[in-house]
């Protein structure tokens, strides 16, 4: 006889959601980790120096709630006013705050069916109605889907996990034709060769551009993200933040993030190395029978002509090479491969060459 499971009254009131599933963080050390789009190179030497010199005594004090040093550096670097910049604990924190601040309507917010899978998690958590228009057969937005009535719009550009970049003209048209909605452009990967929507923030009050230090600036462990928008939009975002938690950023993140911004030469060098490795890897994957959208990110979203993606994912993992596999409709025959160092990518290509050769001979 099965034991009856009793649900307590307090459990009935739990806000239940299906949580976001991040990329696997394996405990073993002898691996090539190409599954979470982290930078394969260290942060700026300025960050390393500051970390070595950092005194622990200030840690007993609360950090600057305005993160002024970091905000000033970002604003100066981007050529916008400090009142146009909002910072948070990674772009996930910034995006979550934006969902809370701006998506407060009975109309559904819009974001693609294939995109960053945290969007629907936040919508469910905050009880925001949403709709996911389908990308077309080449993983691009269908513009008309975003000209319908809505309570807000979220577009990752370049998109994740596909790596596809939308044209700036398309993004601006969506912003311009939705004056009554806040449009978020999530640019986590924009530094790897894509064009930013930042010029729009001085022309439209209803656009918010979100970026991160986790990818191109090699600071995923520090959790630094930011949004740029009109003074009015950023003001509303700050109101929500200070109603939620005044001290979201720790003191080292503020100081070291500011240092990273100051080291422009290192930033450009690092991004250039990753882009060069990406372009070389594309050629090697094409030679091995892979196809993929043209990536403007630090990853490649690849499908093989004859070997299922799940099989490749498992074979690579067995070899100690971790890539990302999404068991979801329309993308379940793709693996997402983060761009690592030249040596890491060479090892992956060598393994794939051997594995595909064995499969062909069977």
Q: What is the tally of helices (H) and strands (E) in the chain?
A: 11, 13
Q: What is the mean pLDDT of the chain?
A: 95
Record the tokens describing residue 146, joined without a space. 């975003």
Q: Where are the alpha helices (DSSP H) in 3-116?
A: 9-12, 45-53, 68-78, 90-102
Q: How far apart are CA 350 and CA 332, in angstroms?
A: 24
What is residue 57's predicted lDDT score, i.e. its pLDDT?
Answer: 83
| Least confident piece of the model among 150-164, 183-197, 241-255 | 241-255
What is residue 217's predicted lDDT score, i.e. its pLDDT?
Answer: 97
pTM of the model: 0.95
Query: In this structure, how many other beta carbons lie within 10 angstroms of the beta carbon of residue 140?
Result: 17
Q: Is the pLDDT of residue 1 over 60?
A: no
**Per-residue model confidence as pLDDT tens digits over 32-49:** 999 999 999 999 999 999
Instruction: Label residue 30 by pLDDT band (50, 70, 90).
Output: confident
Q: Is the pLDDT of residue 335 over 90?
A: yes
Average of per-residue pLDDT across 226-236: 97
Q: Is the pLDDT of residue 362 over 90?
A: no
Average of per-residue pLDDT across 184-209: 98
Buried b (16+ CB within 10 A) or exposed e, 155-178: bbbbbbbbbbbbeeeebbebbeeb
What is residue 309's predicted lDDT score, i.e. its pLDDT?
Answer: 97
What is residue 27's predicted lDDT score, i.e. its pLDDT?
Answer: 79
Please compute Rg for the chain using Cα positions: 22
Q: Is the pLDDT of residue 208 over 60?
A: yes
Domains of the chain and any CATH numbers: 23-42+265-361 (3.90.1150.10), 45-262 (3.40.640.10)
The span from the first CA to the last CA of the chain, in angstroms, equals 50
Instruction: Label residue 19 by pLDDT band (50, 70, 90).
Output: confident
Average of per-residue pLDDT across 291-305: 97
Q: Is the pLDDT of residue 22 over 90?
A: no
How would you classify the pairing of strands 152-156 and 109-110?
parallel
Residue 237: strand, helix, or coil: helix
């Amino acid at each position: 006889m099965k034991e009856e499971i009793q649900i307590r009254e307090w459990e009935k009131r739990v806000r239940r959601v299906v949580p976001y599933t991040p990329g696997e963080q394996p405990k073993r050390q002898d691996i090539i980790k190409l599954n979470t789009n982290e930078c394969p190179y260290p942060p700026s030497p300025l960050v390393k120096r500051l970390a070595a010199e950092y005194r622990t005594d200030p840690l007993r004090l609360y950090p600057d709630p305005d993160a002024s040093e970091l905000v000033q550096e970002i604003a100066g670097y981007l050529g916008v006013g400090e009142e146009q910049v909002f910072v948070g604990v990674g772009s996930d924190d910034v995006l979550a705050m934006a969902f809370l601040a701006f998506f407060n309507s009975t109309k559904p917010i819009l974001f693609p069916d294939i995109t960053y899978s945290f969007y629907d998690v936040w919508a469910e958590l905050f009880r925001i109605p949403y709709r996911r228009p389908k990308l077309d057969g080449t993983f691009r937005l269908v513009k008309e889907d975003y000209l319908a009535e809505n309570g807000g719009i979220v577009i990752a550009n370049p998109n994740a996990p596909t790596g596809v970049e939308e044209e700036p003209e398309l993004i601006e048209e969506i912003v311009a034709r939705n004056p009554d909605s806040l449009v978020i452009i999530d640019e986590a990967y924009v530094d790897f060769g894509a064009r930013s929507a930042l010029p729009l923030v001085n022309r439209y009050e209803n656009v918010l551009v979100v970026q991160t230090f986790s990818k191109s600036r090699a600071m995923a462990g520090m959790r630094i993200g930011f949004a740029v928008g009109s003074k009015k939009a950023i003001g509303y975002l700050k109101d929500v933040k200070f109603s939620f938690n005044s001290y979201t950023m720790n003191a080292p993140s503020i100081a070291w993030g500011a240092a990273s911004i100051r080291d422009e030469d290192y930033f450009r060098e690092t991004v250039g190395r990753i882009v060069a490795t990406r372009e070389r890897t594309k050629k090697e994957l094409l030679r091995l029978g892979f196809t993929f959208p043209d990536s403007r990110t630090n990853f490649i979203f690849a499908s093989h002509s004859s070997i299922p993606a799940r099989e490749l994912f498992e074979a690579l993992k067995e070899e100690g090479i971790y890539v990302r596999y999404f068991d979801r409709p329309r993308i379940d025959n793709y693996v997402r491969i983060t761009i690592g160092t030249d040596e890491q990518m060479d090892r992956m290509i060598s393994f794939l060459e051997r594995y595909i050769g064995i499969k062909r001979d069977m």
